Structure 1
């Protein structure tokens, strides 16, 4: 009897699951939509997407083609894996294809986050951001601060075993805070870092506000970070001191024509830290790995940087002209970003019913412009799975129409050159001071983030 009850229970559960899956498919079976599957109610196919990543995408493309529907991160979503169509989507924001980041990301990064706004609001928020991180600002202010910080941070690595993943995260985050908050950054770094890591995890999660979920922890971390930044802003207003950093510039309306509210300033600061932190830290970590695995490329980088040091006294920082001369280093950064695929794609949202690729996409649906596969297209990149920085010495490759490593259209990453400057400075002091070898054979994951779950450990010795 007990066995029969168990069998009936299993059959009942299977019937309910089948009914839920069927109901969710019927719910999204609108005329004109591309083929695909929608998974479970609420959860959709998020679990499969986050766990299987590129394999999930390849399997769906094999079944439905390069343009299919799904339901990921809480949103009904169209996935586009077609290079021509991706280029069109990225270049046509004005035609109703605005940023469409999932609710978890928008809630945690803020409604004034530059990725969330569009139209005139995006124009002035982007203008405010560019006023802080333009090439002129990099040349005149930011590069010197970056050099001073990274030079100091890498001063005592000799004869150490370093978790390079942990160190590059610390460097990227601490460097950003120093640029933003100057002298106050040291005192707030540890509590900020603790909350910030929770915030990062929450941005790629289902927006389920239950205790213990990454979304709940990320949203609470945002509140704590806002409290820290509000306190810092109030303290500065009370003291009336002049501060030569990003926050000081944003608070001085006489110098900055973009008069932002405190809410906009805080969301802009969170944007700067969030967008720079992951790309800079991961690119730095993976460049260390790829250079270790390819001694010829490492020797070429080292030769470039030793030539720069030969023109200087030991205490001299690198300057703008030095940075512009780092052609091979720039190529290493591009090749690292391409091969590791640090950014898999971008999200857009339709503001009206619209036709794309012969299908009708309803208003409010997300479109995931999945650019990962372009990085491994053998027609664009011969031997695409080979680390070959020399390919980027051909400048035309950087300007070709399918170069989406830093986004595209009006949403081209505004911090691209600052990020390149930070990674270049890190590599400069690493290769001119040290040799290193990997220890432990640490595992790397490539999706949804590039990370080493147990760290990436290297043994460092002086050069």
Structure 2
């Protein structure tokens, strides 16, 4: 008898829980959609591979079914996905009031130490972090001193590539951009370092979209070990700076400024542990934000000879105007690269690395009759904006010339490769300058051909099935 009663109670409880899961509480009307299975939600569909630059099927199918705004659940979290440009623009402008920055649990836990959530803390000190980042990677720094340093790095890298039978571009470009950025972040010297930090970071990135299950044998467990080794290196560097300030006073990198910046009452703004985690987060950004679009650019140029021809002509014209063809690239020359910027914009439009930007809702958001509840996550699916046929004619076609005639007001709400609002990436100018400089050196001094790979895959982060391998050789006059 009691067994029957217990069984009935269990069934009722399960049914009630499923009903609650599928119909979450809301002080209004939720956007349409499905919550999927408990805990898992609809996560497995998001991780299905797609072999196209088109919008990931997870989002595309639901937009067709539910409209521009829909609800779902990913790894047990209630989520609203927005492909609506007005809502995305609104949320970008309301950072810190309606929403705050948030990441999937697998990444949030990578930036979490005991007793402190680093993502939340980064939100609170965003003003200081952004200011320091702009000091070292902003337009003024690029103009004054960084541009020739980038060119020197690119020249060295391409010489090394030309001495190899072939190079896997994504991996090699990641190492190039990380080693260069890390020098200005914390004085990293790849040639002298006993540990290959870019390799540790690469292993960590591989598990970014994995379930956060810390069990031996899982990818996430391996990711945590590599993350700890990377953090320990940053910790050692930071502690050495703190122990010997006189020795490192003239370093002048991001770490040096972060250590010494003071707030009210002459108190240090950043603790040493927070500095370490900020450096870790910025290392993530420097590792992937340039290398992936740069790799995609090389693939697209190889596939579109007419674009490569006009790009090359623009850079050869720059050399013709110089008194000394071997002079270093100047700021004015960089700013004259009109078609190069078109190519970069078009690559960024097609090649948005992640499926969207994640924000956590701080207050109920009312929009077009729907309510997005406090505590939920919003995914600003900006790739959908980049591929909307009403804004970009024939959106899946690589067409840099389209940027000649696109209205700036339209672009401001429908082109957000570096985020928007107060969370506009401080490294946006740096990324574009690095890509433009790389293209300048590559098309004026080198030839290359794709020898293997280049097939696109999204799962849901953009990548290549077997990488993209190229053979690089110096031009001989």
- Contact 1:98/1:118 (<8 A) preserved: no
Q: Which residue of 2 aligns with 1:39?
A: 36
Deviation of the 1:145 alpha carbon: 2.2
Question: How big is each residue's C-alpha offset from its partner over 1:149-188, in whole Å with a ceiling of 9 and x where there is no partner?
Answer: 1111111444732222222122122222222234634333
For residues 188 and 204 of structure 2, the distance between their equivalents in structure 1, rounded to whole angstroms, comes to: 24
Give me the TM-score of the superposition, normalised by structure 2.
0.85
Deviation of the 1:102 alpha carbon: 1.9
State how 1:37-436 maps to structure 2 within 5 Å: 37-51=34-48, 54-110=56-112, 116-117=120-121, 120-158=124-162, 160-182=165-187, 184-188=189-193, 190-239=195-244, 240-241=247-248, 242-253=250-261, 259-310=269-320, 311=322, 313=324, 315-394=326-405, 396-397=407-408, 399-436=411-448
- Contact 2:22/2:34 (<8 A) preserved: no
Q: 1:449 to 1:238 in 2, by over 3 A?
A: same
For the residue of structure 1 that corresponds to 2:452, the secondary structure is: coil
Deviates more, 1:194-203 or 1:286-295: 194-203
For residues 330 and 304 of structure 1, the distance between their equivalents in structure 2, rounded to whole angstroms, comes to: 11
Structure 1 residue ranges without an equivalent (≥5): 1-15
For the residue of structure 1 that corresponds to 2:79, the secondary structure is: strand
Deviation of the 1:337 alpha carbon: 0.9
For the residue of structure 2 that corresponds to 1:448, the secondary structure is: coil
Question: How big is each residue's C-alpha offset from its partner over 1:338-396, in whole Å with a ceiling of 9 and x where there is no partner?
Answer: 12232431111111334333223332110111121211122211221221112223474
Question: How big is each residue's C-alpha offset from its partner over 1:226-256, in whole Å with a ceiling of 9 and x where there is no partner?
Answer: 11011112233445232143333333449x9
C-alpha RMSD over aligned residues: 2.9
For residues 278 and 348 of structure 1, the distance between their equivalents in structure 2, rounded to whole angstroms, comes to: 20
Question: How big is each residue's C-alpha offset from its partner over 1:370-429, in whole Å with a ceiling of 9 and x where there is no partner?
Answer: 121211122211221221112223474485322222211111111100001111111111
For residues 20 and 210 of structure 1, the distance between their equivalents in structure 2, rounded to whole angstroms, comes to: 28
For the residue of structure 1 that corresponds to 2:270, the secondary structure is: coil
Give me the TM-score of the superposition, normalised by structure 1.
0.87
Question: How big is each residue's C-alpha offset from its partner over 1:87-108, in whole Å with a ceiling of 9 and x where there is no partner?
Answer: 2222222442222222222221
For the residue of structure 1 that corresponds to 2:449, the secondary structure is: strand
Deviation of the 1:68 alpha carbon: 1.8
Structure 2 residue ranges without an equivalent (≥5): 1-9, 51-55
Aligned residues: 446
Q: 1:101 to 1:171 in 2, by over 3 A?
A: same
Q: 1:27 to 1:400 in 2, by over 3 A?
A: closer
Q: 1:299 to 1:442 in 2, by over 3 A?
A: closer
- Contact 1:74/1:206 (<8 A) preserved: no
* Higher helix proportion (structure 1 or 2): 1
State how 1:8-27 maps to structure 2 within 5 Å: 23-24=17-18, 26-27=20-21
Deviates more, 1:229-238 or 1:287-296: 229-238
For residues 132 and 442 of structure 1, the distance between their equivalents in structure 2, rounded to whole angstroms, comes to: 33
Deviation of the 1:290 alpha carbon: 0.9
Dislocated runs of 4+, deviation >6 Å: 19-22, 111-114
Q: 1:447 to 1:337 in 2, by over 3 A?
A: farther
- Contact 1:205/1:214 (<8 A) preserved: yes
For residues 66 and 215 of structure 1, the distance between their equivalents in structure 2, rounded to whole angstroms, comes to: 33
